[in-house]
Chains A and B, each alone.
Chain A
Amino acid sequence: MSRARITAIIVVLLCATPSVAHAHLVNSGLGPFYDGALHLLLSPGDLLGLAAAALLAGLRGARASRLTVMVLPAAWLLAGAIGLNLPAAADPTWLGVLSFVVLGVLVAVDLNLVPGAVATLAGVFGAVHGLFNGSALAAIGAGPVSLVGIVVTALMVVLLVSASIVPLQAAWTRVAVRVAGSWVAAVGLLMLGWLWKGGA
């Protein structure tokens, strides 16, 4: 066998050698805090759920929004801190999707929940996501600073969205919020189908 042919075979073998896949946070280049913040901003599932929780709180008024802004990030942080010390959980995507389907439906039907109930729902949502975030962060070697980045970003999203909704008075603006809720629920329903199929 000629030397050129041997060289070609070696080249092909080297190029075809598989390497290990490393799951990691998005690298912002600004350190773990911003890596965590960017992770949340680039996770559409988490963002849709946060938006739905904020829309629900905003529709139910200032008191519900204030409670939600306090409870949701606090629950996310506490559950995340617990999750950091837990082994990696099984794929929890379906639970996250289910949570924003429920929140989206509640926004769409504009259910007249008391502020405490809205905050409780938001707290459960935050706790579920925090727990899985924490355990996923631990699995990839990211620490509590990334978790804090995620939680602060979640706080900002909920604060800004709910504060934008509370002052809305015109009927059509509330209708627009309810339509947005129905879209969130519709996306979630389709996602549940994808998860069932295994294509997501």
Chain B
Amino acid sequence: MLRFVRRPSRTAPRAAAVVIALLWPLAAWAHVQAGEAGGFLSGLSHPVSGLDHVMAMVAVGLWGAQLGMPAVWVLPVAFPLMMAIGGMLGLIGLPLPGVETGIAVSALVLGALVLGQIRLPLAAAVAVVAFFAVFHGHAHGTELQPGQNAMLYSLGFVVMTGTLHAVGIGIGLMHRWDFGRVILRGAGALVLAGGLYFLWGALA
């Protein structure tokens, strides 16, 4: 006669074996690519994540286009370099008082310069842009997500900053036409109004 005997369940040991196989920690193969794509994309997206930054950086390009050669390229060269120095100051722990106020004032001043089509000597124009770039770098050049590659974050940050300047220069090319000059001054007024709004927010 056939007898059915209840054997001990094998389900639990099998499940444990499967879990062990799936979750067994393999050796960590350390290499240089971890988080690199994220770091670059994070750096690219950071400058466009705040309207105050975007307005100020585009305004640098607009003003450069109004001033013509050589300011049209000297200003966008000076801005990223001084912004990087601002970021470096932030990273080494040097405090910069009134960073948000400085960023808002940068939009306000640059907007006013574009609105008024104000022509400063090249050295003075570079000094204005370089001064404000330090605030932008100090505030936003230092926000790296954990696990991301600092080199690629910095690269993305600088590339996007330069791209925003290029957008400003591209728009500023309409300066050669009468109607373009009016539109540029209108854009300056918009940046100035944005600067006032951000300044209100920073001081409130």
Contact = CB atoms under 8 A, between A and B. Distances in A.
A19 B26 contact: yes
B48 interface: no
B150 A199 contact: yes
Which secondary structure characterizes the binding site on chain A?
helix
B155 A22 contact: no
Contacts, number: 127
A38 to B, nearest CB: 10
Interface residues of A, number: 43
Interface in B87-133: 87-93
Interface in A1-52: 3-4, 7-8, 10-11, 14-24, 26, 42-45, 48
A4 B19 CA distance: 13
Contacts of B85: 189
Interface in B123-167: 137, 141-142, 144, 149-152, 154-155, 157-159, 162
Interface stretch (B76-84, B176-184, B188-196): B76-84
Interface of A: 3-4, 7-8, 10-11, 14-24, 26, 42-45, 48, 108, 175, 178-179, 182-183, 185-194, 196-197, 199-200
A193 B30 contact: no
Given A44-B151, A189-B87, A189-B88, A19 B25 contact: yes
Going nearest first, the 10 A-B pairs with the smallest beta carbon separation are: A193-B91, A193-B88, A189-B84, A186-B84, A190-B154, A200-B150, A194-B150, A186-B80, A182-B77, A15-B23
Contacts of A48: 151, 155
Nearest to A8: B16
Which secondary structure characterizes the binding site on chain B?
helix
B29 interface: yes
B73 A7 contact: no
A21 to B, nearest CB: 4
A187 B32 CA distance: 18
B33 interface: yes
